Amino acid sequence: MESQVIIPDIDPIPVPAPLWLLKVLLLLTFTLHILAMNVAVGGGFIAAITEFLGKKRNSQNHLELSRSISKMLPPFTAFTITLGVAPLLFLQVLYGNFFYTSTILIAWPWLSIIVIFILAYYGYYLYSFRWEKLNGKRFAVVLISAILLAIIGLIYTQNIVLMLTPEKWKEIYFNNPHGTNLNISDPTVIPRYLHFMVAALAVAGLLVVMWGLKNIKSNEQLGKWGIRYGLLWFIIPTLVNIVVGLWFLISLPKNLLMLFMGENIYATIYFLIALVTMFASLIFMFIALNAVKPVMKIMFGKVFLLLTVVMMVLMRHELREAYLKPYIDWEKVQVEPQWGVITIFVLLLLGGLITVIWMLKKSFGKSSLVVHN
């Protein structure tokens, strides 16, 4: 009895949708969540460093950029939550018995996410609404908020890894049932986390590039500077992330590492495609750095980056399935789809998307990324 792994039984109520549908929605909404998070977190760090450089070099360009980012941070933070709620929902139907258990073990750090998030979010609003008035304090305000949000990511990674390693639960729980544990000692947690965070800088860097492109018509000097500055924010973190990614890969237990080395055909293919698309996007961005007409190169770079992100999400999913393979028998999961409600969901989702697009079109007809005066 003692050494056995305890896995809570799956819920006796059937799953109300085909598993594939739930998995697709989980991965789709998670991808969107991560992209929004990238801008909210990475953008915060870039803003902080840009504030710092702007002050040090007395540079108008840096100021213009940090002011523009300040306007984007609150909405992207809002998207991070809204797009985070959806995967949270699907994760619970699919992997609830793993997720609830690991969460209970780290209950207090997990709950602290709410408080940390509220503080960081208000920090971003302060930075945005009071940009002029804050003046000397801007650097500190935005940096603190970004760090707080980054801490949330670390708590997430710890939980998402802990839910995959039921072998550890028993010892943790019986040593401390008060929910004040952490999972930081797992050797995969830090590299896995850094892999996300460094990527956040790169993706947010691309937003800076887009900002440069938008401004190039009204102010060529500023636009060009923005493109170059943003490209560097993309290229340098991405180079760093190659190392971090390798670190993550070798930190995995041997049998899971081998998934990507041919053991699992899907995992291996995703991995290979990801390597190709990642290098492709790096090369395009490199060329764009010194190009006279960088628009198309950046376009290609972006598309390849997006493909890379999608591949990474798929790899992560295969990894999770492999971690849990000994503990889940998908065949045994009862499924009774509520097709009626699913249909309504799909129709409302379409209606919702149309509504939001309509609102955006009506209100920001041109673009909100342009510098307002």
Partner 1 sequence: MNYPFWDIPFIGGGILIGLVAIIHTFVSQFAIGGGLFLVLTEIKAYKENNSGIIDYLKIHSRFFILVTLVFGALTGVGIWFTIGLVTPTATSALIHIFVWGWAIEWIFFFIEIAAAMIYYHTWDKINRKTHLTIGWIYFIAAWMSLFVINGILSFMLTPGAWIENRSFWSAFFNPTMLPSLIMRTAVSLALAGLYALLTSSNLKNEDLRKLMVKYSAKWLIVPFFILPLGGLWYVSVIPEMAFDIISGGAPAVTLFAVASIFFSILIFGFAYFLPYRHPERFPVALSALFLLMGLTVTAVSEWVREAIRKPYIIYDYMYSNNVLKVNEENVKQTGVLASAKWTIIDTKTETDTLKIGEQVFKLQCQSCHTVEGYNGVKILVKGWQEPFIDAQLQHLNQLKGFMPPFMGSEMERKALAKWLYELNRSY
Rounded CA gap, 206 and 41, in Å?
13
Per CB under 8 A, the list member of 114, 250, 261, 299 interacting with partner 1 is: 114
What does 192 interact with, of ligand HEM, partner 1, none (CB < 5 to 8 A by kind)?
Answer: ligand HEM
Distance CA 232, CA 205 (A): 8
Q: 189 to 248, contacts with ligand HEM by CB under 6 A? A: 192, 196
Among 149, 199, 252, 305, binds ligand HEM (CB under 6 A): 149
Residue 12 DSSP label: S
In whole angstroms, the minimum distance from the beta carbon of 168 to ligand HEM comes to: 16
At residue 16, φ and ψ (nearest 5 deg) are -85, 30
Of ligand HEM, partner 1, none, which one sits near residue 70, judging by CB under 5 to 8 A according to partner kind? none
Of 87 and 109, CB closest to ligand HEM = 87
By a kind-dependent CB cut-off of 5 to 8 A, residue 310 interacts, out of partner 1, ligand HEM, none, with none
Closer to ligand HEM by Cβ: residue 30 or 260 = 30
- Tell which one of 31, 50, 80, 281 touches ligand HEM (CB under 6 A): 80
The gap from C-alpha 226 to its chain's centroid, in whole angstroms, comes to 23
Could you list the beta-strand ranges (E) of the chain: none
* 341 is a site residue for partner 1 (CB under 8 A): yes
* Cα separation, 117 vs 153, whole angstroms: 11
CB of 307 to ligand HEM, least distance (A): 19
Question: What are residue 335's phi and psi, to 5 degrees?
Answer: -125, 125
In whole angstroms, what is the distance from residue 195 CA to residue 189 CA? 10
Residue 41 touches which member of ligand HEM, partner 1, none, C-beta under 5-8 Å by kind:
ligand HEM
Q: Is 24 in the site for partner 1 (CB under 8 A)?
A: no
Site pattern 301..330 for ligand HEM (x: CB under 6 A): ------------------------------
Largest CA distance in the chain: 72
Contact call for residue 88 and partner 1 (CB under 8 A):
yes
Closer residue to partner 1 in complex, CB, 101/219:
101
Query: What minimum distance in Å lies between the beta carbon of 28 and ligand HEM?
Result: 11
Could you tell me the smallest distance in angstroms from the CB atom of residue 369 to ligand HEM? 21
Contact 70, 77 (CB under 8 A): no
- Which H or E run includes 286? helix 265-289
Dist CA 81 CA 76 (whole Å)? 9
Q: Which of residues 83-102 bind ligand HEM (CB under 6 A)?
A: 84-85, 87-88, 91
Residue carrying the six token digits 């290979």? 272
In the complex, the smallest distance separating the C-beta of residue 6 from ligand HEM, rounded to whole angstroms, is 21
**Residue 315: what residue type?**
M
Which phi and psi (to 5°) does residue 216 adopt? -65, -30
Report helix, strand or coil for 33. Answer: helix
d(CA 316, CA 312): 6
CB of 117 to ligand HEM, least distance (A): 6
What residues contact residue 123 under an 8 Å CB cut-off, 6+ apart?
141, 142, 144, 145, 148
Positions 36 through 55 that interact with ligand HEM (CB under 6 A)? 37, 40-41
Q: Smaller CB distance to ligand HEM: residue 33 or 302?
A: 33
- From the list partner 1, ligand HEM, none, pick the one residue 104 interacts with, judged by a Cβ distance below 5 to 8 Å according to partner type: partner 1
